[in-house]
Amino acid sequence: MHPLRVSVRAVCYKDNAILLAEHRDDRGLWYILPGGGIQHNETMAQAFDRELLEETGGKAVMGDVLFVREVIADLLDTTYLPEHLHQIELFVEAKHFEQVTQPMAPDKDQIGMVWMPLHHLPNLLFFPKTMVPSLQNKVFDRIYQGHIL
């Protein structure tokens, strides 16, 4: 049996830019919002704080859930996700971001963090790609986005 994984991701804006985790692998550069899995007996707020500090070296105030996405690796034509991964991702507003240290535990293939101008999002290898218009316009009119890339 493969357990369902739940993760939390920070949506952090500054002016007309968004904070992204920058990764490099055989596809080249690709980007995601910082965050990761909620551990056993860890609250969503604790995971938000821990993941943000680990991946960005920063702290922020956790705001509202903006949207939820579901990822089922077995339904995708990709070799980049763990086999049998089924994950629910909670994308949460990150308010008042402050850099306090260097990233403490970046993810595999993560090479840094970047404040990406919003107008560059459509041209990036960014996940979830289907959320680019909502992220650019800062409009989240549907909470549950379903199974998307």
3-state secondary structure string, 64-105? EEEEEEEEEHHHCCCCCCCCCCEEEEEEEEEEEEEECCCCCC
Q: Which residues contact 57 (CB under 8 A, 6 or more apart)?
A: 99, 100, 101, 102, 103, 104, 113
Q: What pLDDT score does 14 carry?
A: 96
39: confidence class by pLDDT, cuts 50, 70, 90: very high
**Residue 145 C-beta-side C-alpha neighbours within 13 Å:** 23
Average pLDDT over residues 32-55: 96
Closest by CA to 131, choosing from 84, 75, 69, is: 69
Average pLDDT over residues 34-52: 96
Outline where the chain has alpha helix (H): 44-56, 132-137
Residue 79 · residue 115 · CB < 8 Å: no
**Domains and their CATH numbers in the chain:** 5-147 (3.90.79.10)
Least confident range from 45-49, 98-102, 104-108: namely 104-108
Omega within 30 of 0 (cis) for the link into 128: yes
What is the average pLDDT score of the chain? 91
Query: Burial, 94: exposed, middle or buried (Cβ in 10 Å; 0-12, 13-18, 19+)?
Result: buried
Encoded tokens for 112: 């840094």
Q: What pLDDT score does 2 carry?
A: 76
